[in-house]
Chains A and B, each alone.
Chain A
C-alpha cells in the first residue's frame, strides 16, 4: 500500500499550497460573513432567520410524515402492497409452493421495524436472520422437529457463498467509495466520532455560558434538525431491515425448496436425458440443440385430430392421419425449428382413451411437458373420460409442489360439424355475431371450457378438415406464444428436477471414485 507521505510527495507540497491559496478566499467567506453580521448588529435577524428556517423545515417534515402515513393506510386498505420499493423480489421460475412461502417472508418483512431490531447490534440482526430462516424452513418441512437442520452441508456452504457474492456485488455497486473503504478506516472513523461527541458536549456547555442568547437558538435548531434527519434515517433503517429479511428469505427459499444445484449452471442450458432421446427419436438432420427446447405435449382422445393439428402447426404433412382410431400407435416427437434452432419439441400421443397409451407412459409424458395441448372434438359431448384424465393430470402436479402445472390449451376441433352443418364461411367472429354458426361455435367453446374446467380464453376453436384449415396458425399459435413465459417457468422447474436426479447419481459416482482412489493409495 502507498503511504500517505508518499502520496503527498507525489502531489507536490508547493502545489498543495497553491490549491489551498486559490481556495482561501472562498473558505474565508463564511467566517467573514459571520463577523459582519456580528459587527453590524444584524445578529438578531440572522438568529431569527435561523429559527424560522428550522421551524418551517420541521413543519414540512411533519407534513411529509403525515402524507406517508395516510398513503400507506389507503394502500393497505386497497391491497396489502406497501409503497416502498423492493429490490429483492420472488424469482419468476418459482413454483406455487415457493410463492406461498415468499408471501410469508414478505409478511415477516412488513412486521419488522427498527424499534424492535437495533441496526447496530450485530447479534440481534443475526437473530432476525434466523427467524426468517425459521419461517422458510418451517414452510418446507412442517413435519420436522427442527426444520432449520433439514439441509445438506454442501448446500449450506453453497448458500453462504451465493449470499456473500451477492452482497459484495451490491455494496460495490451502490455504496460510494466502498471499494476504497478499508475495515480499519471504518473503525477509526467510528472512534473519531466518539471523541467528537465528547468534545461537542463540552463545546455546547461553553457556548451556553458565554452566549446564552445565541446558544438557545442553536440548541433549538440542532434538536429540530436531528429529529428530521432521525425520522428519515429511521425510514432508511426500516427499509434496510426489511430488505435484509427479504434477502435472507429469498436465499432460504432457494435453499429449502431444493432449487440450488451444486453445479454452477443454468438447468435449461443443455437438453435433458428425456429430450436427448426424443431428439434422437425425431431423428432427421442435424445435431441436437444446445439448450433444452420447450416440450409441447399433444393429448386428447382418439380421432379428435391430434395428428392433424400437428400437421397444421408444422404447415406441412408430418404425421399420418385417418378416420379410424389408433393411427398414432406410440408417442412420437417432432422438432419444430425456427431459424435453424430447436424452438420446441412437439410430442404426438396416441388417443388417451385407447390401450396404446398406458397410464404410466402418460404420466411420464405429462410430467415431462412444458405445455399441454388438449385436443377435443366439438361434435362429441361425452367428455367425462377427458375430464377425468385432465383431473388426474392436475392431481399429478398437485402432488408435486416443487413443480408448476404447465399451461393447458384446449384446441376445439371439428367446429365445421356444428350446426348449421353445411355452412362453412370463416372467419367467424365469436363475440358479436348474428351468424348462427358463430353462435354455435361460441356456445361450444363455453360448454367445453366448463366441461373440462379450463379458462374460456384458452379454449380455441379450430378446424383441421382438409381444405378448411382455420384458426391454427393465427389464434392457436398466438395463444401458445402468449403462454410461452409460463411454459418457460414450467420448463425451468422440470429441468431442475431432471438435473437434480442426474446430480445425485453423478455425485455418488464421483465420491465413490475418490474414496476408492484413497483406499487404493493407502493399501499400496
Chain B
C-alpha cells in the first residue's frame, strides 16, 4: 500500500498524461481520478467546514493586510490605500486546496455605492471570530462599532478582536516604530507619541464596553509592505497572534503556525506554508475518514496530493531518486513507528482494513494522524533537500513518530469544536 502511495506520487509528478491513462497503476490500485478526489474533498468540507474568521472594517483599513500577515500567504490582494479593491464579501480559503481556515473579507464599509446590510447578515451567520479593523487615523468608526455592538447583542459570547492599524499615519514626521512592541505592557501610553496615544484611546473610549461576556482584545498593529520601508513590516503581529490565540475558540494558531517547526532555527515562509498545508490535508483526511461512503482509496490520493504540494512549496521536484530516498528514510520509520504499534498492524494493511471494519471516528483520527505525520516528515526531508543537505533517518523517524501522536491529538479537538 505504501509503495503504491509513492508510486502514485511519482506518476503524478511525471505528468498528467500518465495519470489520465486508465490503465495506469495509479488509477487502478491506489489512486483515483482528480475529479473524484476533488468531489471527496468537497464533501468532506461540507461535513466539516473550516472555521470562519470575519474581518470587519471600512474599506482600505487594512483587512487584507491582516489576512496576509496571519497566513504568510502573498495571494491576498493588497490595495493602494485610496481606492477600494474588495468588491463584495468574499471567502478566502487558506490554504486553497485543503483549507484550515476561511477568512471572510467584507467589502469595505463606507464605500461608494455599496449597501452592506445583506453582506453583514450573511457574515454573521458564518463567522466564529470577528477581527474588526480600524485605522487609527480615522477617529470616527461608528459604522464598524455599530456592527460590533449589534453582533454582540445577538451573540454575547462571541470573541472580538479590534486591530488598530496604520499607526505610522499619526506619527510625527521622521518617527520610527517603538521597539520592542510596547502595547502589551502597562505604561505604553507614555512611550509612544502623544498623538498616537490619544488617537488609540479615543477609539477605545468611543466603542466602550461591548454587550455580552465574550472576550474583547485591542491590538495596535502596523502591517506594511516591504516597499513602504517601515520596519518591521509586521509590527504588532505577535501581539495579534496572542490575541487570536486567546480569543478564538478553535485553535487558529495551531492551524496556522507550528512553533516546533522553528526549533531548528529554520523558521521561514516554507515551514509556515507547509504547516498550514499539512494541517489542511490532515483535516481533510479526518473528514474523508469520517465519511461512511467514500472509498478510502481517497486517503492515499490525498496524501499524494499533499506531498506534491509540499514539493511545490519547497521548490523540490519529486523525481525517481527523491521518491526512493524519501521512502528509504521513511520505510523503517513507519515500521518502527509508535503509531503503527498502536494500531497493531502494518500500514500496508491498515488503510483498506479500516475502510471495511474500522469505526468512522477511529478512521478519521488515524487517517488524519498519518497524513499529518507523513506531511511533517516530508517537510523535514524537503527542507533539507531544498538546501542540498542530507537528513538522518532517525530524525525523520523521530518527527514522524512525534507527529503521528500530535496529529491524532490535534485533529480530534478540531473535529469536536468545529462541529459545534
Q: Enumerate chain A interface residues (CB-CB to B < 8 A).
A: 301-303, 323-325, 351, 353-354, 378-385, 387, 414, 417-422, 424, 440, 443-444, 447-448, 451, 465-468
CB within 8 Å of A: which B215-233 residues: 224-225, 227-230
Contact A444–B198 (Cβ < 8 Å): no
Contact B109–A379 (Cβ < 8 Å): no
CB distance from B385 to the nearest CB of A (A): 38
Known: A380-B138, A381-B108, A451-B112. A417 touches B230 (CB 8 A): no
Closest 7 CB pairs of A and B: A382-B110, A381-B60, A444-B82, A325-B139, A382-B58, A447-B83, A323-B195
CA–CA, A381 and B79, complex, Å: 10
Contact B82–A420 (Cβ < 8 Å): no
Residues of A within 8 A of B81 (CB): 378-379, 381, 417-419, 440
Which residue of chain A lies nearest to B168 when distances are taken between CB atoms in the complex? A421
CA–CA, A325 and B136, complex, Å: 12
CA–CA, A444 and B60, complex, Å: 13
CA–CA, A422 and B137, complex, Å: 17
Which residue of chain B lies nearest to A447 when distances are taken between CB atoms in the complex? B83
CB within 8 Å of A: which B338-384 residues: none
Contact of A385 among B80, B110, B225 (CB under 8 A): B110
Contact A325–B140 (Cβ < 8 Å): yes
Residues of A within 8 A of B198 (CB): 323-324
Residues of B within 8 A of A303 (CB): 137-140
Residues of A within 8 A of B108 (CB): 381-382
Residues of B within 8 A of A382 (CB): 58-60, 84, 108-111, 138, 143
The answer to the question of B114 belonging to the interface, with a C-beta cut-off of 8 Å to chain A, is: yes
CA–CA, A99 and B224, complex, Å: 53
The answer to the question of B275 belonging to the interface, with a C-beta cut-off of 8 Å to chain A, is: no
Give the interface centre of B83, B84, B199 by most chain A CB atoms within 10 Å: B83
CA–CA, A348 and B113, complex, Å: 28
The answer to the question of B147 belonging to the interface, with a C-beta cut-off of 8 Å to chain A, is: no
Give the interface centre of B169, B170, B199 by most chain A CB atoms within 10 Å: B169
Contact of B111 among A351, A379, A381, A468 (CB under 8 A): A381
Known: A323-B198, A421-B228, A422-B230. A379 touches B83 (CB 8 A): no
| Contacts beyond the supplied A323-B170, A381-B81, A419-B81: 18 A-B pairs with Cβ under 8 Å | A302-B140, A323-B199, A325-B140, A379-B82, A380-B135, A380-B138, A381-B108, A382-B143, A383-B110, A385-B110, A387-B112, A417-B81, A418-B80, A419-B225, A422-B228, A443-B83, A444-B80, A467-B173
User: 15 A-B Cβ contacts within 8 A?
Assistant: A323-B137, A323-B195, A323-B198, A324-B198, A379-B60, A379-B82, A381-B59, A385-B110, A387-B112, A419-B81, A419-B227, A420-B227, A420-B229, A421-B228, A424-B173
Which residue of chain B lies nearest to A351 when distances are taken between CB atoms in the complex? B140
Q: Interface on chain A toward B: helix, strand, loop, or mixed SS?
A: loop
CB distance from A451 to the nearest CB of B (A): 5
Which residue of chain A lies nearest to B58 when distances are taken between CB atoms in the complex? A382
CA–CA, A323 and B224, complex, Å: 22
Residues of A within 8 A of B229 (CB): 420-422
The answer to the question of B188 belonging to the interface, with a C-beta cut-off of 8 Å to chain A, is: no
The answer to the question of B202 belonging to the interface, with a C-beta cut-off of 8 Å to chain A, is: yes
Residues of A within 8 A of B111 (CB): 381-384
CB distance from A343 to the nearest CB of B (A): 33
CA–CA, A380 and B134, complex, Å: 11
Which residue of chain A lies nearest to B60 when distances are taken between CB atoms in the complex? A381
CA–CA, A443 and B82, complex, Å: 9
CB distance from B128 to the nearest CB of A (A): 26
Contact A324–B139 (Cβ < 8 Å): yes
Contact B112–A421 (Cβ < 8 Å): no
CB distance from B86 to the nearest CB of A (A): 10
CA–CA, A420 and B224, complex, Å: 11
CB distance from A68 to the nearest CB of B (A): 53
Which residue of chain A lies nearest to B203 when distances are taken between CB atoms in the complex? A324
Contact B173–A468 (Cβ < 8 Å): yes
Residues of A within 8 A of B59 (CB): 381-382
CB distance from A48 to the nearest CB of B (A): 83
CA–CA, A366 and B245, complex, Å: 51
Residues of B within 8 A of A465 (CB): 173
> Please, what's the 1-or-0 string for B115-144, where 1 marks a CB less than 8 Å from any CB in chain A?
000000000000000000001011110110
